[in-house]
Chain A
Amino acid sequence: DAGVIQSPRHEVTEMGQEVTLRCKPISGHDYLFWYRQTMMRGLELLIYFNNNVPIDDSGMPEDRFSAKMPNASFSTLKIQPSEPRDSAVYFCASSSQTLGNTIYFGEGSWLTVV
């Protein structure tokens, strides 16, 4: 199994630009999560989907952040417009309720907004 695949691995962008992070969950998993990791705040759950439907987006910091899951094998996290305080590592993760609920993480997208 290829695991959770994220792209891009690293991105440097200028303040005000739109950023789109992509995720391909493990095939067959019905849950998908977006986490953000910073030194100051640690790991935070931003949003999660079940069967492609957003269930809880209470962790999304503000309206500049949006996430979609158009099908079972693809999700995006978009930041528009980006700000320097959005600089962080964004992890996508997936799990299966029928396969033990263990959450598997992708390798992360390292975002720097200058």
Chain B
Amino acid sequence: AQSVSQHNHHVILSEAASLELGCNYSYGGTVNLFWYVQYPGQHLQLLLKYFSGDPLVKGIKGFEAEFIKSKFSFNLRKPSVQWSDTAEYFCALAPGNAGNMLTFGGGTRLMVKP
């Protein structure tokens, strides 16, 4: 069975700081990887996804993530965060042959101080 680990449960940054949120997964086969964001009181929205090809994926709002197969990682990055990035971020995995079956990590709560 697959699993996703997000080791940082809470992150606090000042505006303009750089962000990197860790995501590691466990699965023996081909994977599809996702980052979702959940703003306070709202539903989950897709930030970016990796299915195949270039391991550096660019998403909305200036976010990017890099798939490193050898490290089983898919870390999320943003060079300069804004107060409006305050949210909870979820990494998720789907097996390559079952792209709809998402397994989520525990989430990372990001607070950006103005």
- A and B from one complex: yes
Q: Interface stretch among B12-20, B63-71, B78-86, B101-109? A: B101-109
Instruction: Check if A107 is an interface residue, CB within 8 A of chain B.
Output: yes
**Contact-residue bracket for chain B:** 20 to 34
By the criterion CB–CB under 8 Å, are A106 and B43 in contact?
Answer: yes
Query: Taking A42-B107, A43-B107 as contacts, is the C-beta distance between A105 and B100 under 8 angstroms?
Result: no
B86 to chain A, nearest CB (A): 18
Within 8 A of B (CB), among A31-77: 31, 33, 42-43, 45, 48, 56
How many pairs of residues, A versus B, come closer than 8 Å at their CB atoms? Answer: 43
Give the residues in chain A near B32, CB-CB below 8 Å. Answer: 101
By the criterion CB–CB under 8 Å, are A48 and B100 in contact?
Answer: yes
Q: Once bound together, how far apart are the Cα atoms of A33 and B103, in whole Å? A: 12
Query: Taking A48-B100, A103-B100 as contacts, is the C-beta distance between A42 and B43 under 8 angstroms?
Result: no
Residue ranges of B at the interface with A (Cβ–Cβ < 8 Å): 32, 34, 36, 42-46, 49, 51, 90, 94, 99-107
